[in-house]
């Protein structure tokens, strides 16, 4: 089991969701986050005081998958979120020690999908 | 001079200002995504600043000044020369000329602001500023002259527009459609509405619009008299009928009565009753509201999706459609018995008035559409109307105003 964490541009969320659904990955958690990568932030001005390069809005996806779904998930996110310029985001894949479905008490791979 | 009339028109002027800021600003501001809310508030606010000055310097003279062949005012009243505390001989003869001028200034302000809904979330701020001044000068001022100046050529034909159905709503609504078509869709728009970021703002703004609209419609009587009260009643019942109609139609058609739909329907009713409110009975006003709610629903929820243009916040669907219908509604429902300065509409035996109202609509549509097209092309060539794709993605608040509306983390 792996946990796929993706940080993407907010306006690409719908496209990424569509790509994920196309490869049968339907369960995910989505959060609004702020981030700073190679893409420069935008200077903000409040009553004349400048604040350089603030953090930019991003969207984070947390998707728990079984091994067979790891590569399809990565390519689906890449396909949906890609524009080719800095700021497109990143995908992290980490090992997942356990997964429990609260309603049934199921554990492990069967609890993921 | 009448102190009661003066007090009412001064109050009504402030009410009409309230329609633009904060009414329209929050109505539109709630409907856009969180990254663009400040751009909407800023556009509404700066319109007040810019057009107040344009109107004082030369706009008022172009619209209401001594007429050159019924086409446009001359510049005799530039910088408000000759406009003062004494009443005008022709406009609002019981109130200070300053009061009439200020009341009209608020109309000149809100009209271009209404168009913001059509190009929300993708117009460059610099281009917006230039376009708005040109549009106010070359579209609004002439049209106001034709319909409302005592020597205007449409006024001479007997056109009836009590509070601005043609001058305000058809002109801005049609121009809004032209702008939406020329500017193109927002990135990622797929013939489906982009979700509003704060509907409570929209309801608040919509409610302030309704409140301020009493100044707009009942104030257009230019006196604290029976006609003002009559316009107020018509405004109230038409708006109520339109809001209720949208809610019920939507309930039947989509399964739920939505708050956004109810508020939108009410605005459609306010728009439609605007040209008619001083000429129709309360029962006619209810019918006008019912039909406006239905027509705006069809325009926004059914037809727009099929045609696929991106009128972001339905400036055309509400103000264009509501305004055109309302202008015809005068030709249908007007009664000389309600207002002796009015006329009898088609339902009361007056064929002529209906034809005049039809001409009024055609002239306004052709003129506003053609001029907006020309002005768009002009400003687009010189400055460029649309923001860069990158700026559109990051949002107009950060890229045009260098501010963000909400902090996620302190």
C-alpha angle with apex B48: B170 to B13, nearest 5 degrees?
Answer: 75
Contact A32, B408 (CB under 8 A): yes
A69-73, B193-197, B207-211, B363-367, range with the lowest pLDDT: B193-197
Residue B266 has a pLDDT of: 97
- Tell me chain A's radius of gyration from C-alpha atoms: 17
Please state, for a pLDDT cut of 90, what percent of chain B lies above it: 88
- β partners of residue A57: A34
Long-range contacts of B69-78 (CB under 8 A, 24+ apart): B69/B153, B70/B145, B70/B146, B70/B149, B70/B151, B70/B152, B70/B153, B70/B156, B71/B142, B71/B145, B71/B146, B71/B153, B72/B141, B72/B142, B72/B145, B73/B141, B73/B145, B73/B149
CB contact under 8 A, A56 and B394: yes
Pick the residue of A56, A57, A80, A89 with the most B CBs within 10 A to test the interface with B by mutation: A57
Burial of B300 (C-beta count, 10 Å sphere; 0-12/13-18/19+)? buried
- β partners of residue A89: A8
CA distance A50 to chain B (A): 9
Residue A49 has a pLDDT of: 87
Name which of B231, B200, B328 is nearest B12 in CA terms.
B231
Question: Residue B250 pLDDT > 90, yes or no?
Answer: yes
Residue B151 has a pLDDT of: 96
d(CA B154, CA B166): 11
How much is the average pLDDT of A15-40? Answer: 91
The model's confidence at residue A11, banded by pLDDT at 50, 70 and 90, is confident
Residue B191 has a pLDDT of: 59
What would the pLDDT profile of B176-232 be if each residue is shown by its tens digit? 999 999 999 998 787 567 889 999 999 999 999 999 999 999 999 999 999 999 999
CA distance B38 to chain A (A): 13
- What residue ranges define each of the domains in chain A, with the CATH number in brackets? 2-112 (3.30.70.120)
Question: Residue B409 pLDDT > 90, yes or no?
Answer: no
Nearest to B408 among A9, A11, A34 (CB): A34
Residue B308 has a pLDDT of: 81
Cα distances from B5 to residues B95, B107, B221, B272, in angstroms, run: 6, 19, 9, 26
Q: Where are the domains of chain B?
A: 3-401
Nearest to A42 among B188, B399, B408 (CB): B399
CB contact under 8 A, A42 and B402: yes
What would the pLDDT profile of B107-158 be if each residue is shown by its tens digit? 999 999 999 999 999 999 999 999 999 999 999 999 999 999 999 999 999 9
CB contact under 8 A, B404 and A45: no
d(CA A110, CA A105): 11
C-alpha angle with apex B146: B164 to B82, nearest 5 degrees?
Answer: 95
Query: What 3 state SS string does chain A have?
Result: CEEEEEEECHHHHHHHHHHHHHCCCCCCEEEEEEECCCCCCCCEEECCEEECCCCEEEEEEEEEECHHHHHHHHHHHHHHHCCCCCCCEEEEEEECCCCECCCCCCECHHHHC
Exposure string over A98-110, b if 16+ CB within 10 A, otherwise e:
ebeeeeeeeeeee
CA distance A29 to chain B (A): 18
Residue B192 has a pLDDT of: 65
ipTM: 0.82
The model's confidence at residue A48, banded by pLDDT at 50, 70 and 90, is confident
Residue B407 has a pLDDT of: 81
Better-predicted residue by pLDDT, B350 or B141: B141
How much is the average pLDDT of B5-31? Answer: 98
Nearest to A44 among B187, B188, B402 (CB): B402
Nearest to A42 among B187, B398, B408 (CB): B398
Cα distance between the two ends of chain A = 11
Query: What 3 state SS string does chain B have?
Result: CCHHHHHHHHHHHHHHHHHHHHHHHHHHHHHCCCCCHHHHHHHHHHHHHHHHHHHHHHHHHHHHCCEECCCEECHHHHHHCCCCCCCCCCCCCCCCHHHHHHHHHHHHHHHHHHCHHHHCCCECHHHHHHHHHHHHHHHHHHHHHHHHCCCCHHHHCCCCCCCCHHHHHHHHHHHHHHHHHHHCCCCCCCCCCCCCCCHHHHHHHHHHHHHHHHHHHHHCCCCCCHHHHHHHHHHHHHHHHHHHHHHHHHHHHHCCCCHHHHHHHHHHHHHHHCCCCCCCCHHHHHHHHHHHHHHHHHHHHHHHHHHCCCCCCCHHHHHHHHHHHHHHHHHHHCCCCCCCCCCCCHHHCCHHHHHHHHHHHHHHHHHHHHHHHHHHHHHHHHCCCECCHHHHHHCHHHHHHCCCCCCCCC
Q: Domain B3-401 sits in which CATH superfamily?
A: Ammonium transporter AmtB like domains (1.10.3430.10)
Q: Indicate the length of chain A as a whole number.
A: 113
- Tell me chain B's radius of gyration from C-alpha atoms: 20
CA distance B188 to chain A (A): 8
């Amino acid at each position: 089991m792996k946990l796929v964490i993706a940080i993407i541009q907010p306006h690409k969320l719908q496209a990424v969701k569509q790509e994920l659904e196309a490869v049968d990955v339907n369960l995910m958690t989505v959060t609004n986050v702020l981030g700073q990568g190679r893409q420069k932030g935008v200077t903000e001005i409040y009553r004349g005081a400048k604040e350089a390069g603030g953090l930019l809005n991003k969207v984070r996806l947390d998707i728990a998958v079984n091994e067979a779904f790891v590569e399809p998930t990565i390519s689906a996110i890449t396909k949906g979120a890609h524009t080719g310029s800095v700021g497109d985001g990143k995908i992290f894949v980490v090992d997942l020690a356990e997964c429990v479905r609260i309603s049934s008490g199921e554990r492990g791979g069967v609890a993921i999908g | 001079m009448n102190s009661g009339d003066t007090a009412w028109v001064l109050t009504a002027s402030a009410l009409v200002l309230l329609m633009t800021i904060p009414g329209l600003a929050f109505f539109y501001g709630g409907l856009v995504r969180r990254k663009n809310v400040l751009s909407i508030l800023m556009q509404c606010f700066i319109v007040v600043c810019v057009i107040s000055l344009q109107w004082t310097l030369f706009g008022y003279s172009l619209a209401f000044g001594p007429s050159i062949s019924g086409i446009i005012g001359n510049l005799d009243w530039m910088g408000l020369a000759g406009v003062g505390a004494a009443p005008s001989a022709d406009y609002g003869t019981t109130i200070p000329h300053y009061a009439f001028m200020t009341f009209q200034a608020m109309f000149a302000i809100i009209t271009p602001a209404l168009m913001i809904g059509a190009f929300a979330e993708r117009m460059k701020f610099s281009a917006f500023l230039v376009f708005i001044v040109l549009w106010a000068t070359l579209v609004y001022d002439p049209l106001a002259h034709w319909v409302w100046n005592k020597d205007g050529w449409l006024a001479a034909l007997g056109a009836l527009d009590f509070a601005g159905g043609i001058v305000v709503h058809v002109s801005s609504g049609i121009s809004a459609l032209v702008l939406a078509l020329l500017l193109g869709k927002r990135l990622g728009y797929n013939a489906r509405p982009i979700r509003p970021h704060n509907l409570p703002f929209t309801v608040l703004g919509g409610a302030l619009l309704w409140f301020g609209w009493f100044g707009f419609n009942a104030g257009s009587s230019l006196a604290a008299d029976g006609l003002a009260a009559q316009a107020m009643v018509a405004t109230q019942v038409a708006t109520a009928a339109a809001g209720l109609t949208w809610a019920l139609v939507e309930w039947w058609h989509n399964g739920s009565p939505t708050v956004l739909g109810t508020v939108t329907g009410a605005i459609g009713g306010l728009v439609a009753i605007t040209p008619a409110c001083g000429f129709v009975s309360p029962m006619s006003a209810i019918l006008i509201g019912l039909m406006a709610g239905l027509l705006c629903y069809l325009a926004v929820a059914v037809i727009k999706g099929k045609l696929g243009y991106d009128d972001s916040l339905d400036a055309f669907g509400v103000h264009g459609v509501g305004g055109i219908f309302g202008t015809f509604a005068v030709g249908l429902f007007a009664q000389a018995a309600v207002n002796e300065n009015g006329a009898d509409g088609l339902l009361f035996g007056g064929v002529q008035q209906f034809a005049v109202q039809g001409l009024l609509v055609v002239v306004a549509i052709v003129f506003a559409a053609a001029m907006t097209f020309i002005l768009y092309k002009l400003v687009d060539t010189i400055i460029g109307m649309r923001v860069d794709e990158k700026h559109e993605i990051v949002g107009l608040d950060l890229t045009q105003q260098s501010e963000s509306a909400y902090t996620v983390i302190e």
